[in-house]
Amino acid sequence: MIVNKSDIASDNQKSLQDHQDKFDFLSNSLAKSEINVDDLVNKLADFQVAIPSWALGAGGTRFGRFSYGGEPGTLEQKMDDVGVIHSLTQTAGAISLHIPWDIPTDYEAIKQKAAQHDLNFDAVNSNTFQDQKDAKESYRNGSLSNTSDAAREQAVQHNIDVIEIGEKLGSKSLTVWLADGINFPGQGNFQSALQHTEDSLKKIYNSMPEDWSLFIEYKPYEPNFYSTVIQDWGTSFMLANACGDRAYTLVDLGHHLPNTNIEQIVATLMLKGKLGGFHFNDSKYGDDDLTVGSIKPYALFLIFNELVQGMQHNPQNPYPAWMIDASHNIKDPLEDLIQSLEAIQEAYAKAMLIDQNKLMEAQAANDVTLCQEIIQSAYRTDVRPILEKARLERGGALSPIKAYRNLKVRETLIKERGLHSVASGL
């Protein structure tokens, strides 16, 4: 299914005046604080977040999965779904593929699809947390950290294969997330697991083309519950440094123990020029993969404050690769992703409202109350009319969720693909 610009435009008509009134009111009041609203709108419109190919069908838990009608059964259909989201939001201009779940069969056709929907290929993701069909070695006891030379070699080779696939599509980065770890004390040797991981990552890093980057993702636990080899940002940072200049840490919001100060991790990594990628989601307890901004929107805003500062003041840090890494168990996956994109844009816009000069003065004067006032007055501003404007200018929907429903996207997908289609790769 394709959502036409003309259909979006006619749906926008209903709320155009309302939008204009709200936008005028907000931009007048922001102008009094010397905020350049046009600049905000442009920055929002430029901010593009990749959609992972594995998030387009219903997710699930180990207790079950309830499939959602009209799920994409092929990579082409997944790209069509990202195309729908991008048409409505103008914010999802990239797709991130997971190999082997999404190995293209016809590269030219896939590239054409990407061009048709105006999508780039973001980082490619390897998978050494599942045994692959007909594979000689098992990852039951780890992949890049495995005590077996043969298993490690197979895992390294898989990553090299993924890089080759990514090259054919025009990706420029590889994300490695490892499930490697142990379930019980004494089950493995911490030092040799870490050393094997470092050696394997170096081999992968050295196989990348020169214009590629390696993103190393960390996670404290799950599927292993006693220890994970790359458990935290420090371990990832250390491994990235060991690999070289084009290896970076990837922060996934759900991969922290409760109450971790993620914004401080972001600031530290950007200062050191090592924040390469970012996975958005939200959580209450663990790696819950909930809709971005649904549980802790204020924390997301504080994280964006550091990202905004880092993008402005840390030229040593590359522009991070943004991706949503969420799972949709109950909601329509496309609606869930649209809500996540809205929450990301909202946090980004609010963070850009913080008067950084005033904040620095207040910090220098140790005026704690004023520091909080400055931060919170940005957070309390309703920035949604600016988001609407950014979408409108690019031909997107004033309200992507409303347009999605008015245009009967899910109904059409069910008609096209059936009620019982199951997303490929799951």
Chosen from Mn ion, ligand PSV, none, partner binding at 125 (C-beta under 5 to 8 Å by type):
ligand PSV
Looking at beta carbons, which residue is closest to ligand PSV? 177
Contact between 122 and Mn ion by CB under 5 A: the answer reads no
Q: Give me the least distance between CB of 39 and ligand PSV, in Å please.
A: 32
Contact between 102 and Mn ion by CB under 5 A: the answer reads no
| Residue from the set 113, 274, 279, 410 that interacts with ligand PSV by CB under 6 A | 279
Contact between 325 and ligand PSV by CB under 6 A: the answer reads yes
Interface mask toward ligand PSV for 107-146; x: CB under 6 A: ------------------x---------------------
- Long-range pairs, 32-35, Cβ under 8 A, ≥24: 33/355, 35/353
Chosen from ligand PSV, Mn ion, none, partner binding at 78 (C-beta under 5 to 8 Å by type):
none
Number of chain positions touching Mn ion (CB under 5 A):
4
Chosen from Mn ion, ligand PSV, none, partner binding at 332 (C-beta under 5 to 8 Å by type):
none
Contact between 282 and Mn ion by CB under 5 A: the answer reads no
Q: Give me the least distance between CB of 301 and ligand PSV, in Å please.
A: 22
C-beta closer to ligand PSV: residue 252 or 342: 252
Interface mask toward Mn ion for 220-259; x: CB under 5 A: --------------------------------x-------
Q: Give me the least distance between CB of 109 and Mn ion, in Å please.
A: 28
Chosen from ligand PSV, Mn ion, none, partner binding at 180 (C-beta under 5 to 8 Å by type):
none
Number of chain positions touching ligand PSV (CB under 6 A):
8
Chosen from ligand PSV, Mn ion, none, partner binding at 346 (C-beta under 5 to 8 Å by type):
none
Q: Give me the least distance between CB of 287 and ligand PSV, in Å please.
A: 5
Phi, psi for 154 (deg, rounded to 5): -60, -40
- Two tokens, residue 158: 């898989």
Contact between 287 and Mn ion by CB under 5 A: the answer reads yes
Chosen from Mn ion, ligand PSV, none, partner binding at 389 (C-beta under 5 to 8 Å by type):
none
Q: Which residues bind Mn ion (CB under 5 A)?
A: 252, 279, 287, 325
Q: Which residues bind ligand PSV (CB under 6 A)?
A: 125, 177, 217, 219, 252, 279, 287, 325
